[in-house]
């Protein structure tokens, strides 16, 4: 895909595991002291809710940023 439609978005998820431990993946919890409104677009309510659960490590790219 070389273009992103103006009204849409593109999402991708990759989960990696070791070949000798395929049922194990890296998980983490949100650091509530980080500036999530800036780095993740999360308001304080969402940070509070998500901080109680395990999640896959993730990131997002700014439009036009190389992976």
| pLDDT tens digits in sequence order for the chain, 67 residues long | 556 556 556 666 777 788 898 888 878 888 888 888 877 778 889 888 888 888 877 666 666 766 5
In this structure, what token pair is assigned to residue 64?
């036009």
pLDDT value at residue 61? 62
pLDDT value at residue 43? 87
Cα–Cα–Cα angle for 67, 63, 1, nearest 5°?
70
Q: How far apart are CA 37 and CA 14, in angstroms?
A: 24
Q: Are 27 and 49 in contact (CB under 8 A)?
A: no
pLDDT value at residue 20? 92
With H, G, I as helix, E, B as strand and everything else as coil, classify residue 49.
helix
pLDDT value at residue 4? 57
């Amino acid at each position: 895909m070389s273009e992103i439609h103006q009204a849409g978005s593109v999402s991708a998820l990759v989960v990696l595991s070791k070949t000798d431990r395929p049922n194990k993946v890296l998980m983490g919890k949100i650091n509530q002291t980080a500036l999530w409104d800036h780095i993740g677009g999360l308001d304080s309510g969402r940070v509070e809710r998500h901080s109680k659960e395990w999640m896959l490590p993730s990131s997002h790219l700014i439009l036009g940023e190389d992976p």
